[in-house]
Amino acid sequence: MNTGIMRHKTSRTRTVLAGGIVLALIAGLFLLAGCGGDATTTTAAPSTEATAAAERTTATEASVEPSGDPIKVGVVSPISGPGAILGQGIVANAKLWAEQLNAAGGLLGRPVELLIQDTTTDPKTAAEKAKFVIGEGVDVLTGPVYGTEWGAVRPVAAEAGKILLQPVYYHGGWYDDLLFMTGEVPEQHVDKFIPWLVENYGKKFYFIGSDYNYPHAINRLAEEIILRLGGEIVGEEYVALGTTDFTAALARISKAQPDVVFGNVVGTDAIAFMKQFYDAGLNKSITMYEPIDQSFVSAIGVEQVEGVAVAQGYFETLDTPTNKAYVEAFKKIEPNLPPVDISTSAYVALQFWAEAVRLAGTTDPQSVKVKLEGLTLTDTPVGEVTMRATDHHTTRHMYIAIARNGILEVVEDLGVIEPGVDQRQVNRE
């Protein structure tokens, strides 16, 4: 319609416009980089609490009153920002853990005090908050979610010689002297699950994932197993993080007609992908795997998610007395969030640490480390878990759940699975 409108504009304005784009791009990339580090598909339902920037909780209802100086535990979590979905779940689990511990007489007879800090899902802030809680005298830290946050917190904890508990499932290969992982690695997701998919649904697989290290890593492992079982990969593609339109990929999937879509599209992209998969009618003939959890189901829609198969180390619907008691206690602390794989793994990580402190009789990181290595917890919400001495990863149960009427129902316990051969030999950065 109009021409020459910019005639009066100076070159300065244009420079600034260009600056705007750069800033917008940086902001965009920043957000995406957040997802980029790790598997972060899991989300949790809304929570209105725990948004204060710095919050201290001392759970002190005790039947056997703990006494003496409190043992401080650092929870440096994204309570605000994009990571809040998981960060708030981790914080709730830490609160539950502390409350239960203090109610049972504390740790080494002393009360446990959580130092909860908000990373705002920002790596730099995460590092600062980690330094802050270390300055306050903690011997153990946990809480970050995104790979970028872990990247910032790991050196801080390592330098200070503190134990760092990492509950987020990720691409594998991390190892520090005092770093302990309770989340799963890709080997655990595929080792028994892929054969199960082949047996139940068929041999033709289509790989689609967000374009960062985790999907690439898990697909290489999955491919090996599929080919060994005589199956084939009829398509493999990666979508840019932040993709909202999956129609091109869906057209290719529809053309390839696989038996199983092995999806590792993460974050809210996964929701768009699964919705559009359903809208295109592909769910009728193709089974989909996506690493989603219960809180995702309501965001996708009951019908849209029906029949999706998921393998993870924890589901809320696990039918064990320990898990039922845990879920009930968790809901009292945080009624708006379902407990999910990542946040429950944080609870398990803290249980590991408390047990090791009991065995060591001290919170001194080096002494606790010795006790943590090779430690087995027989009765946790996720089942029996062992902290492997060599590489500090956990041998744990994997479960398969299928979405039925909006609930991820556990259909099979795949049993205890090792976290690969040795994560210290793995390089997937």
Partner 1 sequence: MSTTQLILLQILNTGVTMGILMLVAIGLGIIYGLMDVINLAHSEFLMLGAYGWVIARLVGLDGWTGLIIAPVLVGLVGYVIERGLVQYLYRRPLDSLLATWGVSLILVQAARIVFGPAPQAVPTPLEGAVDLFGMPYGRYRLFVLAVSIVIISLTLAVFRYPTFGLKTRAVFQDAEMAKCLGIRAPRIYSTGFVIGAALAGLAGALVAPMLTVAPDMGANFLVQSFLVVIVGGAGSLVGVVGGAGVIGGIQGLISYFSSSVLAQVITLTLAIIVVRVRPRGIFTRK
List contacts with partner 1 (CB under 8 A): 1-9, 13-14, 16-21, 23-25, 27-28, 31, 43-48, 51, 80-82, 84-85, 88, 211, 237-240, 242-245, 247-249, 251, 254-255, 268, 271-272, 275-276, 279-281, 295-296, 298-301, 336
From the CB of 160, what's the least distance to partner 1, in Å?
30
Residue 258, classed as helix, strand or coil, is coil
Which helix (H) or strand (E) covers residue 75, if one does? strand 71-77
From the CB of 55, what's the least distance to partner 1, in Å?
15
From the CB of 11, what's the least distance to partner 1, in Å?
9
Closest to partner 1 by CB, 31 vs 416, is: 31
| Rounded distance between C-alpha atoms, residue 86 and residue 76, angstroms | 12
Beta-bridged to residue 403, according to DSSP, are 408
| Rounded distance between C-alpha atoms, residue 79 and residue 118, angstroms | 5
Closest to partner 1 by CB, 87 vs 365, is: 87
From the CB of 46, what's the least distance to partner 1, in Å?
2
| Rounded distance between C-alpha atoms, residue 330 and residue 324, angstroms | 10
Closest to partner 1 by CB, 193 vs 238, is: 238
From the CB of 86, what's the least distance to partner 1, in Å?
9
Beta-bridged to residue 235, according to DSSP, are 206
From the CB of 2, what's the least distance to partner 1, in Å?
4
Closest to partner 1 by CB, 28 vs 361, is: 28
| Rounded distance between C-alpha atoms, residue 375 and residue 335, angstroms | 32
From the CB of 31, what's the least distance to partner 1, in Å?
5
Among candidate residues 366, 380, 402, 416, the one with its CA nearest the CA of residue 192? 416
Residues 6+ apart with CB under 8 A from 24: none
Residue with tokens 């197993």: 225
Three-state SS annotation for 138-178: CCEEECCCCHHHHHHHHHHHHHHCCEEEECCCCCCCCCCCC
Closest to partner 1 by CB, 20 vs 415, is: 20
Closest to partner 1 by CB, 1 vs 135, is: 1
Closest to partner 1 by CB, 50 vs 190, is: 50
Q: How many CB atoms lie within 10 A of CB 320?
A: 15
